Amino acid sequence: MKKLLTCLGLCVLLLAACEQSHTDKTAGKQISYEVKPQALQSVMYFSTTIEPLSMVNVSSPEDGVVIEKHFTYGEKITKGQLLVTIDSDKLEKEYNTALSTFLSAKDKLATSKANFEGSKELYELGIISRNTFEQDKSAYNSANVAFLQAILNLKQTIKKGGQGHEQALEKLSIADIDAVSKALKIKYNFLNLIADTGGVALMPPKSTGSDDGKIEVGSEVKLGQVLVVIGDLSGATVKIQIAETNIDIIKAGMQVTLSSAAFPKQVLKGEIKTVASQASTTTGFAGGVPTFPATIIVSQLTAAQQQVIRVGMSAKVKLVIKRQNVLLVPIAAVQRKGPLSLLTVKRKGKTLTLPVTTGETNLSQVEITSGLRSGDVVLYSQASKQQTSMP
C-alpha cells in the first residue's frame, strides 16, 4: 500500500514538472502581429422616455370660465372636434368695441371719399388750390387705412368666437340703426375652441391655477393659458444625453433601435435627428461629466405598435457604431509603464518601443489612435497576458 502511494506521488510530481516546463516554453514564445486597418463595432445604450412625434398646444384666446368640456385627457381627439366652450365677458366687450370702431371708420371713410372726389373735380377746374386738394386726399387715405385696421380687428374678434358673421357685419352702416342695434345685441361672450389636428389629448404644463394643469368645467382660464396638448402618436420622439467623451462619434442621421419592458414584443426603428452643440444644464451622468442632448425620431409606428405604446413609457435606445480603417492590436501587446502605453514594434527592420495612445476596446483587441502605422509588426509574448492589463 505504501509503495502504491509512493508511485502515485511520483506521477503527480512528474506531471506538474511537465506542465511547468510547457508553460515556461509558451511564456517565452514571441508572437508577431501585423497591423492592418480593420472595422470596429461598438454598442451604446441610453435610457429615455417616449414622447409624441409632435405636439400642438391649444390655448385660451381670452380670459374666461370653462362652461363646456368635450374631451378627456388621455383619449383620442379628431380634427375639427369641439374641445371646450369658454364664457368670456372680455370677449363681448371687445366685440362691441370692435363693431363700434368699424362702423365709425366706415362712415368716416365714406365722408372722406366724397370730399376727396369733390375736391378732385374742383381742383381740375381750377376752383380750389392744390394745397386744399392734397389735404382732402391725405384725409381720405388716412380714413382708408383706419377702416382697413378696424375691419381686420373686427374679423379677428369674431374669429375668436367662431360664430362667422363677418360678411353680414361688413355690410352694416351707421345709417341703418335697426341693423346696428341688432348686431350689438349678438352675444359674443362664448368661445368655441376647435381641434386643428387629430391626436391624443395630453395634460398641459402645470400652472399656478391648478396643481396638475388640467381644466374642468368651471375652471377659470387666462389669456394664452394652455388648456390641452394634442400629441401625434403616429410616430414617436425620444431624447437622450450624450457624454462629452462620445459627442464626436455620434452624428445626426445615425440609425438606432428602441425597446422596452413595457412593449417587449416591439422593436422600434429610429434616426438621430439633432445633436446639440451646447451642453445640457443638467448633470448627474458619470459624476457630472457634461452631456449633450440629442433628439431621436421614430417617424412611423405601426397600428400594432400604436396600440401598446403610450406617452411617458420608459425605453432603452441601442446605438451601434461601426467605424472603418481602425488600427487594432491584441490587448496583451500593450505594456504599461507609469502613465504611458507602450508597444514593441518592428518597423523597417528595426525593433522599436513606441508610446501610443489607446482608444476603444473589445474582448480581445484595443484601438490605437496614435503612434502606430498600418504595416507595422507588433511583437509581444504570452507572458504579457499575465502581466499586462488595460485600465
| Selection from 214, 319, 219, 226 nearest residue 269 by Cα | 319
Q: What is the pLDDT of residue 201?
A: 95
Tell whether 176 and 108 lie within a shared domain.
yes
Residue 43 within a domain = no
101 and 178 in a single domain? The answer is yes
Residues 256, 382 within the same domain: no
Residue ranges for the chain with pLDDT beneath 70: 1-28, 160-188, 207-211, 282-288, 382-391
Last residue of a domain, one of 261, 291, 312: 312
237 domain residue, yes or no = yes
Residue 317 counted as domain residue: no
Q: What are the CA-CA distances from residue 12 to residues 6, 17, 240 (Å)?
A: 10, 9, 60
* Number of structural domains in the chain: 4
82 and 97 together in one domain:
no
User: 340 lies in a domain?
Assistant: yes
* 196 in the same domain as 64: yes
Averaged pLDDT score across all residues of the chain:
83
285, 312, 339: which is the final residue of a domain? 312
* 238 and 329, same domain (yes or no): no
Residue 387 and residue 329 share a domain: yes
Show which of 260, 288, 312 is a domain's final residue.
312
Residue 49 lies in a domain: no
* Residues 236 and 102 reside in one and the same domain: no
pLDDT value, residue 189: 75
Residue 126 belongs to some domain of the structure:
yes
**Are residues 243 and 177 located together in one domain of the fold?**
no
Q: Which grid coordinates belong to 225?
A: 393659458
Asked whether residue 47 is domain-assigned, the answer is no
- Per-residue model confidence (pLDDT) at position 384: 44
| Domain range for 361 | 28-38+323-391
> Is residue 182 domain-shared with residue 199, that is, in the same domain?
no
CA 20 to chain centre: 62
Burial 310-322 (b: 16+ CB within 10 A, else e): ebebebebebeee
Q: Which of 273, 185, 201, 188 has the alpha carbon at shortest distance from 237?
A: 273
Report d(CA 239, CA 82) in Å as an integer: 32
**Cα dist from 388 to 135, 142, 356, 360, 383, whole Å:** 97, 89, 15, 17, 8
pLDDT at position 67, please?
92
For residues 218 and 208, give the distance between their C-alpha atoms in angstroms, rounded to a whole number.
Answer: 16
**What CATH number has the domain bearing residue 330?**
2.40.420.20
- The answer to whether residue 94 sits within a structural domain is yes
Whether 128 and 139 share a structural domain: yes
The DSSP symbol for 74 reads: T
- Tell whether 303 and 335 lie within a shared domain: no
CATH of the domain at 248: 2.40.30
335-337 and 365-370 as β-strands: parallel, antiparallel, unpaired? unpaired
Grid coordinates belonging to 311: 406617452
Scan for cell 351707421, then name that residue.
174
pLDDT digits (tens, 9 = 90+) for 302-315: 999 999 999 999 99
Residue where the block lists cell 365714406? 110
Distance of alpha carbon 319 from alpha carbon 296, whole angstroms:
11
